[in-house]
Amino acid sequence: MMTSVNLYDPFGFTNVSKGTVGFDDMIKKLTSISETLPKISTYPPYNIRKTGENTYVIEIAVAGFGQQDIEIVMEDGTLTIKGQVNSDEDSEFLFKGIADRAFTRKFTLADTRVTSGEGTIDTSVGNSVNIIISEYDSINSRYPAHSGKVMFEIYDDSPTPRRQYSEVSFLLASDGSDIFYTESNKIYTSDLLVDVAVDIVSGTNNIVANIVDVTGSSTVVYTIKVVSQSILT
């Protein structure tokens, strides 16, 4: 004997019609609209792991993608990861079971206020300074963060201080061998006092911001402070 079972969906519009009278047309329209709404994409699957008080790891399953097929952009507190495989016309697949369709994933980074990270440039004795923004853990041979965005405030010692705010984003290779993405933007002001870049210091392996005076002055003292930092491993 065959038994059929009807599963009740409490959120389905079809069940609403069983307890209503005179709403048929409206229910049909709502049902039609709900069927056309975009579905939340589950591709590619990903994990988010917390590895410290303010550090996280995002793992994305992207089989079939090479490093050249992935684009990573950090802007306005959002980490966007895009993937698109450039198909090889010379390749002949007897069977293709690995999905390599294009995707876009976005993650919002939480800002973390930091109290450390200060430096000065006295142009009478030098024109640059390095500020550590991610210290290498030599005991465990790892970095606390593999990507991040840092905002610097720079101002001079003149009676009416000139100010520059710069945001610099960086993305470190998973093995810590290189920084393969950086982006630096001057914001909030038209004054350009210094250039800000990110690099790995050989020997210590610390990730530092290198701040260099671009005015050519030999009488100005700059104060540099880290005012906010977003980190994502």
pTM beyond cutoff 0.75: no
pLDDT tens string 198-228: 888 887 888 888 999 999 999 999 999 888 7
* Residue that wins the pLDDT comparison between 162 and 1: 162
Per-residue pLDDT, 185: 80
Q: Given 3-state DSSP classes, what are the helix, strand and coil percentages for the chain, each rounded to the nearest 5?
A: 10, 40, 50
Per-residue pLDDT, 113: 44
Per-residue pLDDT, 27: 64
**Are 32 and 14 contacting, i.e. CB atoms less than 8 angstroms apart?**
no
Architecture of the CATH domain 118-232: Sandwich (2.60)
Using DSSP, state whether 161 is helix, strand or coil: coil
Phi (first) and psi of residue 31, to 5 degrees: -65, -40
Position 232 confidence tier, pLDDT thresholds 50, 70, 90? low
Q: Which sequence spans correspond to the domains of the chain?
A: 46-108, 118-232
